[in-house]
Amino acid sequence: MLNKFELDTKFIDDLELLITEKDSVTIAKKLKEVHPADIADIIEQLSEQNAQFLFEIFENPKSADIIVELEDDVRESILSVFTPKKIAKVLIDHLESDDAADVIAELPQEKKAKVLSHIKNKVQADDISDLLTYSEDSAGSLMAKELVKVNENWTILKCLKEMRKQAEKIRNIHTIYVVDDNNKLLGLLSLRKLLVIENSTTITSIINRNIISVKTNKNNEDVANIMNKYDLIVIPVVDENDTLLGRITIDDILDFVKEEAEKDYQMASGISEDVEANDNIWNITRARLPWLLIGLTGGILGAKIIGMFDLKNNLFELAFFIPLITAMGGNVGVQSAAIVVQGLANNNFKANNISNKLLKELGVAIFNGLICSTIILLVTLLIGCSMAISITVSISLLSVIIFAALFGTFIPLILEKYKIDPALATGPFITTINDILGLLIYFLIGHKIL
């Protein structure tokens, strides 16, 4: 099988030459053993026309496996030329319900309905329609309907027969769920016990009732934290009555975590919308410009604060240390905010320990501030600054570090309270505000001392 490291420029160039020659037979042979994820990588490096040609070479179910691996914009481009009937027949019929729902969700509203109407299997169509009704950030949107379940009253022999029937429609079987006559989730069935117990034994006697499940409206981040905490590779999804509806597998959670990490990183970098490297100039500019304007506004306010003070005589020397004060304040604020954001994401901030964590952050700020302010005091004296200037810069640095740490701690908590993504606090927002208020603290202290 071709691995990703072999997808070099020469390979792509050779492939594009074959595409130009419309040599689909050679291309099919060349990519026969290549994993769908690697083929998706290849398609994303081709022009729109060549990508379309290459994708249509593959037959079911490989083409269905490829489509779910593609980036959203590339998938949208390929599906735009497919008729609803072709999408249903070529792709949806060969996908599990969660992947099928993800593909259909990206289609225009009118096309969604048409695709669903062309799905021959009514149960599959109903399952996909149901999944499309769940909120994008809920467990219901991540789950797949396909699973293996057995009734508590069945014997081992009947259980094995029914499992064989169900397994024919499922690609990967992770767990066997046990339900009652009303489809209420009761527990799990051990495959080992299933193989060694007498055929006449009923399932109810060997149920593992120690099971962790999530409701359909559970937040995706909470689902990820639960699966991580208990080292689960799959988790069942139930409704308010504990009726078994579906299951979420680890690969779905990893996709979600990756998307969230990318979104948070972009937000922390001052990018307000989800953008890709191959987006057009307007989309990228629109995502970046708001925070650049905030930074510009912060710079103007900082200049205004400097202008409020008459930088003559000793005060003039304070200007030399402006970059130091603003840089240290920004760094400390972002560090504190990052710790809090991480704690909120991992559910480490509980109501009964927030005060302890805040006191700890204050202690860290004081300790770091004392070290840094002592160092700057000694350095300024060594380079020939007056004692008054050295003391002013030292005290200001200590004050700014403590303020920035507290500010960086409180802002994410406030954003979380008002249902705003706290990752926002680790980006330009914190650094800009810290620059402005840090300068104000610096010059106020300098004005008083000097």
Alpha carbon distance 185, 174 (integer Å):
16
Alpha carbon distance 158, 204 (integer Å):
13
Q: How confident is the model at residue 5 (pLDDT cuts 50, 70, 90)?
A: very low
Per-residue pLDDT tens for 156-185?
889 988 888 888 778 778 889 999 999 999
Per-residue pLDDT tens for 36-78?
999 999 998 898 999 999 999 998 889 999 999 998 889 999 9
Pick the CATH number of 281-449 from 3.20.20.210, 1.10.357.20, 3.30.465.10, 3.30.390.30: 1.10.357.20
Half-sphere exposure of 329 (CA within 13 A, CB side): 28
Per-residue pLDDT tens for 108-162?
988 999 999 999 888 899 999 999 999 988 999 999 999 999 999 999 889 988 8
- What are the angstrom distances between the C-alpha of 345 and each of 63, 161, 229, 407? 36, 44, 13, 19
Q: Where in 194-335 does DSSP place strands (E)?
A: 207-208, 214-215, 234-238, 244-249
Per-domain residue ranges for the chain? 4-142, 148-249, 281-449
Per-residue pLDDT tens for 252-300?
898 888 887 777 666 666 565 665 656 667 777 777 677 677 777 877 8
Whether 4-142 shares its CATH topology with 148-249 is answered no
% the chain with pLDDT above 90: 43
366-381 average pLDDT score: 94
Q: Is the pLDDT assigned to residue 340 strictly greater than 70?
A: yes
- Return the minimum-mean-pLDDT range out of 78-92, 169-183, 330-344: 330-344
Average pLDDT value for the chain: 85
Instruction: Say which residues have a Cβ less than 8 Å from residue 316's Cβ, sequence separation at least 6.
Output: none
Q: Which DSSP symbol is given to 59?
A: P
Decide which of 344 and 105 is more confident.
105
Burial of 398 (0-12, 13-18, 19+ CB in 10 A): buried
pLDDT at 372: 94
Query: What is the rounded radius of gyration, in angstroms, for the C-alpha atoms of the chain?
Result: 30
Q: CATH second-level architecture of 4-142?
A: Alpha Horseshoe (1.25)
Per-residue pLDDT tens for 194-229?
878 888 888 888 899 999 999 999 999 899 989 999
Q: Is the pLDDT assigned to residue 425 strictly greater than 80?
A: no
Alpha carbon distance 79, 107 (integer Å):
8
Domain 148-249 top-level CATH class: alpha beta
pLDDT at 119: 93
Q: Is the pLDDT assigned to residue 379 strictly greater than 90?
A: yes
Q: Is the pLDDT assigned to residue 350 strictly greater than 70?
A: no
